[in-house]
Structure 1
Amino acid sequence: MKILTLNGKWEFKNSSEEKWLEGVVPGSLLADLYRLNIIDDPYYRDNEDNLYELFNNDYVYRKNFSLKEQDLKGLKALLRFEGIDTIADIFLNDHHIGQTFNMHRTYEYSVEKYLFQGSNELVVKLKSPLKHIHNKQQEIPLYGIPMAVPGYTHIRKGHYMYGWDWGPQLPDCGLWRDVSLLFFSDIRFSDINIEQIHDIDMVKLKINMSIDNPSNELVVATVKITSPDGQIKIIETKIKEKELFEITIENPKLWW
């Protein structure tokens, strides 16, 4: 699999304004504004009060990137956001490819049909987190701690951003983790989990793996285990979508 990072320089702006500014991903609105000397330190004294109104606005982030012919030829492509804060619409070359509502998860979108050889544009429109919770709270009031912004329990976002006894009311927004394009053939691992079950002079490895497999045919997955002294153990298993199997290692060399 080939990974093309879309981190680094982006552009951003208030959605109601024309001027684009230089942003950085991973990052956030507050981090970008502070880096550009547009705002003072958000965490100094009562500066949070002066910045609160910022979060009643919607914001737009965009990134232009270039692709070569070999990046697209015969490959699947996934656009991965490892962290978007929080409510957003995503557009790739003017195609609306998805919405996000949760700061705490990863989002992936199949995008090979939207990509071009040459220049491409990725746009993320971030909606106001304050307006969202205010509207929801008007519809269905939910209980919350008194020192936080009312309605914060309506959104899957770091609740501490809405104020706490120890924290300011700064419900920031932005692309706070990596953004990347993943290029691969028809099959790829989507998840692998390894559980260790220890006993006297042995350990069992329970390996649970899942794959993206459009053909839905059996394929061979290979597991290679290397001991600290260089001994190698190779196990092969057939898998269609999910597979759980065990490997026993006698007298394992435990790191502790």
Structure 2
Amino acid sequence: MGLYIEARIRTDLDDLWARTQEPSQHQRWDLRFTEIDHLPRAEGEPQRFRYATRVLPFLTIAGTGVSAGERERPDGTRTSALRFASPHPLSLLAEGSGYWRYVPDGDAVRFLTGYDYRPRWGAFGALADRWVLRPLMGWATAWSFDRLRLWLEHGITPERALGNWLAELTVRAVVVTVAATGLGLGSAARLLGPFAASTAYLCPLLLAVAICLALFKQPLSCTPAARRCLRTPPTRARAPRLLSTLENPR
């Protein structure tokens, strides 16, 4: 699989399963989707679903998929697999497949995913995927996993977590802007004379420290962060056999 994300979440396995398998819950924490709806199915058939992502206020890209889950496995783990595709001509992502694994780990659950997809638009699409879409998808998945962790571990709803993230991002941006402006003013002040220069030299170090803190300080504990998730599998990751039983969605 091309992308791998893993989060260790201190929660009950059933609660994690419900928050990830029920569409109304899933779409609340997963940044990649705006809407997820199950489609009617016959008894014993895999679950088909429709998903949609609002890219811009006036543009929503939709697709369909098919999924199946193994809730009871001999080793105590659970697995969910899916295949998906989008016929929308503006969707760089044409079709793909992936899985979720739920691995009990003491008082927590290792929640991990592996997935890959095929981009469209030929050589341009391959280039855009490599430098834009794939890094963005990896970040969005990891960020969403940490938002789910905050919901399950601390009761911070996905909506509140998003607000925390936006507020912290705004504060960091303001600090960088103000500090960078201060550095520019300090450089100008040193040209005004000895007295101005003697005081101006006191500020640049503090302003540089402020910029570094704003850019590199760990996010607050109530703010979701992609960096808290594992992005490389500890061992070679293999797709579950369940995935091979699913046909490509039409």
Answer whether TM exceeds 0.5 for this pair: no
TM-score by length of 1: 0.18
**Larger strand fraction of residues:** 1
**Larger helix fraction of residues:** 2
The higher-RCO structure (CA 8 Å, 6+ apart) is 2
TM-score by length of 2: 0.19
